[in-house]
Structure 1
């Protein structure tokens, strides 16, 4: 711990912390210990139990450039309706450990299931945003008996990126992640919204905390490995196999593509078309509902919480 604060102090004196502000998670963070690939690891999570319960649980799965912090407006709204809310930082993100392992959606789903089992949660509604939508889909495919309902909020992976995004070897991905800055994170997050607003800045700060961690080289390696996971492990071909009642909440102004910077201008215009991708997913997931939010980008629950929550609670 001393080493970390000494490192931060040094950065402060050389001007490296001009953008650094630590963000506080909205609720108590707890830890679950388990073994993964013969390594002891800890999973950070929030677990909020309402004073008056409706007997149901919701699990929130975050996107790649986020962690549990960005659900800070969603959690209290769900708790107020009587839901128990479980919010893990997936292994490799946020306050969870970041081991050098083979990352897969199967593994992350299995780890989440172990966490739920430890808390005696046998059934839940699973809400996944962005990469969390890929994970939530895999979780629903692996553990259909556990998923009461499924909500996919602007999930990535509705197209198979490896079929049109040029391949990048892991060492090249690592070099890119290692060279990240606060400004590069902010520039990428700005693409999530039709119009940038300063109220979105805390989500950049939450992502950028890792830049000032002495273990950032290891974090950059994990960031590269999880990009590789998204690139190599599509779930789009299995949407027809999802059996849980499913809601798709799709911001229509979203044009997110993993690896978009590697595409030609002509290719960029053809990819990440969320209005079309949402309709495709709706057709392929039997009995699903589709809510299209006009003027909303990649993160409906941040940009337009009212419309997001209205759609969510109508479904729940």
Structure 2
């Protein structure tokens, strides 16, 4: 019996080895990040979990820290060029994977921007950082806004890169329960992820963007993917039910809004008619309108650019970022 069991285990191991190039674990153990990772333990709703983060220190420090918040479909892995540029200018850069994303735990909890903000404040406190510039992309922009509203004395400056939540999705996207969203998430494939990224995130697809799709879709082949899909549904629900657009006028720190003028991102886009899609998610209109809501906000727009300027037009983005720190 032992010999047979050993044979089966060896066979399963060989199958896993063969499958690995196309299969990612739901905590991305086999995805290489640009800098070393650490983990902060947390206890949430009776569960012991951990929050992954990069803490990248410059060779010649200027005494300032920038914290980067990733988008919903990403993790800290896509910030490499931004981290490199910031550390070259003397900034310490802290890059968390939010709970439920990237290399962090995927617990079944009530997800809220308030709760995620408290985790990030605890991380800064743990690292001994009293003040930081907070920069958020996409969903990270919603979180950065909430963080700034909750902890204004901790934030030197707020930088928003194509944040979602510039409009209230509840007013035009049909409601779906978390269970309905979960059923949709279970259908994730390389083709579906690539189509969404092509139609929402970039103006022109380039082969170098495929790595984003491989990470976004690679987890769908994991045996643990149902957990990942469930968490994705819960965080979709968080975005839908917890708008920040009505509170932009309450921001009291210097703010810079960076947007790609061709960004057409809508959370829940697949639920809309073509007519509705044309009426919403237009960042060339949402950007200026949002900048007017935030006291003293500076708007920087990028022509021929979609949802991720730091990847699509990196040189232009990094130039503007450095000029506005």
Bin of the TM-score, shorter chain as denominator length: over 0.9
Query: Which residue in 1 is equivalent to 2:6?
Result: none
Aligned residues of 2:23 and 2:222 also touching (Cα < 8 A): no
Runs of at least 5 residues in structure 2 that lack an aligned partner in the other structure: 1-8, 25-29
Query: Which residue in 2 is equivalent to 1:152?
Result: 160
Q: Secondary structure at the match of 2:93?
A: strand
Query: Which residue in 2 is equivalent to 1:84?
Result: 92
Aligned residues of 2:188 and 2:217 also touching (Cα < 8 A): no
Q: Distance in 2 between matches of 1:52 and 1:59?
A: 18
Q: Distance in 2 between matches of 1:227 and 1:5?
A: 39
Q: Distance in 2 between matches of 1:9 and 1:39?
A: 33
Counterpart pick for 2:269 among 260, 284, 288? 260
Aligned residues of 2:164 and 2:266 also touching (Cα < 8 A): yes
Q: Secondary structure at the match of 1:72?
A: helix
Alignment of 1:121-270 (within 5 A): 121-191=129-199, 192-270=201-279
Cα distance, 1:210 vs. partner? Answer: 2.1
TM-score after normalising by structure 2: 0.92
Aligned residues of 2:22 and 2:218 also touching (Cα < 8 A): no
TM-score after normalising by structure 1: 0.94
Cα distance, 1:179 vs. partner? Answer: 1.6
Q: Secondary structure at the match of 2:279?
A: coil
Aligned residues of 1:8 and 1:212 also touching (Cα < 8 A): no
Q: Larger Cα Rg: Structure 1 or Structure 2?
A: 2
Are residues 308 and 151 of structure 1, via their aligned partners in 2, closer, same or farther at CA, if it must alter by over 3 Å? Answer: same
Q: Distance in 1 between matches of 2:103 and 2:194?
A: 20
Query: Which residue in 1 is equivalent to 2:34?
Result: 26
Counterpart pick for 1:41 among 30, 40, 49? 49
Q: Distance in 2 between matches of 1:6 and 1:302?
A: 41
Counterpart pick for 1:101 among 101, 109, 125? 109
Report Cα offsets for 1:234-272 as digits up to 9, x if no partner: 000000001110000010010010011111111111000
Query: Which residue in 1 is equivalent to 2:60?
Result: 52
